[in-house]
């Protein structure tokens, strides 16, 4: 029973990381209708920034995290401005390939700058843990912080999109860009802000991810990126609660499949569940069903 609980907590923790990454995918998809394949690599950049700040320059962890957020946000805005903005009118496939190009670029630049030797990411939370049930259930503080961060981000984003002017502009753009423009909303700026928020979330996810799985290489972000994207689709792409739900479920499924079925097949099982969900509910768990007008 305690092992089960332990797996469950680990699943939620991993799922929280997926959820934070998935939020970035979902927000960008909702507004720019593009699959931002470079998102996973922004995670990697964030992790490297934090790594160097903390390990090489001995800055306190919180400064490392903030630095990662600032740099990734800038990076997100720059990528959007240079690579995606010129393609606003292009087909979604053209933008997708450009995003892939950006992803290659970030990975290879990271490889040149920091080599492909794995860096051992420092434990940001000092290895402290909470012991429950007379020491039989040990929960690392990092796990709790991850879950807490996810909850805070979720609440923050929900408030932001519902309460602020910019949040309303975002929702308007995701409904209908043309109409939003006619209402005086600066669509280009709204999209840039969305990318910035997505990239900032990616930085946080990068730090949390590498705290849990400390080996850092230039391709660190790709697989979690793909899985988080899967999570976003799983929950219904474009929906913020959907990203949370999808992320958490994906994390739990992955941990349980690894623990009780087979570690080698845990990825395959995650993807299999995704396929089954989409076959039953073609727009994801919380996605909107759109009837095509004939």
**Least distance from other proteins to the Cβ atom of residue 22, Å:** 12
Options 127, 178, 184, 282; binder of other proteins; rule CB under 8 A: 282
CA distance 29 to 36: 8
Q: Which residues, in sequence order, are CB contacts of 85 under 8 Å at separation 6+?
A: 188, 191, 192
**Least distance from other proteins to the Cβ atom of residue 231, Å:** 11
256 lies in the binding site for other proteins (CB under 8 A): no
Q: At what angle do helices 222-235 and 187-212 cross, to 10 degrees?
A: 120
**Least distance from other proteins to the Cβ atom of residue 95, Å:** 8
Stretch 13-32: interaction string toward other proteins, x if CB under 8 A: ----------------x---
Q: Is 68 exposed, middle or buried (0-12, 13-18, 19+ CB in 10 A)?
A: buried
Stretch 191-230: interaction string toward other proteins, x if CB under 8 A: -------------------------------x---x--xx
Region class of 180: left (phi > 0), else alpha (psi between -120 and 50), else beta: alpha
117 lies in the binding site for other proteins (CB under 8 A): no
Residues of this chain, 258-277, that bind other proteins according to CB under 8 A: 262, 264-265, 267-268, 271-272, 274-275
Is the CB of 94 or the CB of 138 nearer to other proteins?
94
Total binding residues for other proteins by CB under 8 A? 45
Taking alpha carbons only, the member of 133, 115, 146 closest to residue 210 is 146
CA distance 168 to 263: 43
**Least distance from other proteins to the Cβ atom of residue 260, Å:** 14
Taking alpha carbons only, the member of 62, 235, 250, 244 closest to residue 145 is 62
Helices within the chain (DSSP H only)? 2-32, 39-51, 61-79, 92-114, 141-163, 165-175, 177-182, 187-212, 222-235, 240-256, 266-280
Site of interaction with other proteins (CB under 8 A) = 29, 35, 37, 83, 86-87, 89-91, 93-94, 96-98, 100-102, 104-105, 108-109, 111-112, 222, 226, 229-230, 233, 237, 262, 264-265, 267-268, 271-272, 274-275, 278-279, 282-284, 292, 294
């Amino acid at each position: 029973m305690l092992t089960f609980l332990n797996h469950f907590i680990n699943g939620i923790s991993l799922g929280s990381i997926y959820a934070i990454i998935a939020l970035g995918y979902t927000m960008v998809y909702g507004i720019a209708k593009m699959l931002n394949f470079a998102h996973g690599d922004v995670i990697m950049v964030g992790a490297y920034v934090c790594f160097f700040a903390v390990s090489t320059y001995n800055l306190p962890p919180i400064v490392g995290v903030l630095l990662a957020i600032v740099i990734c946000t800038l990076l997100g805005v720059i990528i959007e401005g240079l690579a995606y903005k010129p393609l606003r009118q292009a087909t979604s496939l053209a933008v997708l390939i450009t995003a892939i190009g950006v992803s290659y670029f970030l990975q290879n630049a990271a490889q040149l700058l920091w080599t492909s030797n794995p860096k051992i990411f420092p434990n940001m939370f000092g290895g402290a843990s909470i012991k429950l049930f007379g020491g039989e259930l040990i929960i690392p503080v990092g796990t709790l912080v991850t879950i807490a961060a996810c909850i805070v981000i979720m609440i923050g984003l929900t408030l932001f999109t519902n309460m602020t002017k910019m949040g309303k502009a975002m929702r308007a753009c995701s409904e209908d860009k043309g109409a939003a423009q006619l209402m005086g909303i600066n669509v280009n700026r709204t999209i840039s802000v969305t990318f910035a928020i997505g990239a900032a979330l990616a930085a946080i996810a990068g730090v949390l991810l590498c705290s849990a799985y400390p080996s850092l290489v230039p391709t660190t972000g790709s697989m979690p990126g793909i899985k988080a994207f899967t999570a976003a689709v799983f929950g219904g792409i474009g929906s913020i609660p959907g990203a949370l739900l999808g992320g958490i479920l994906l994390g739990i499924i992955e941990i349980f499949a690894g623990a009780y079925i087979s570690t080698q097949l845990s990825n395959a099982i995650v993807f299999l569940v995704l396929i089954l969900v989409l076959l039953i509910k073609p727009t994801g768990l919380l996605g909107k069903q759109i009837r095509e007008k004939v």
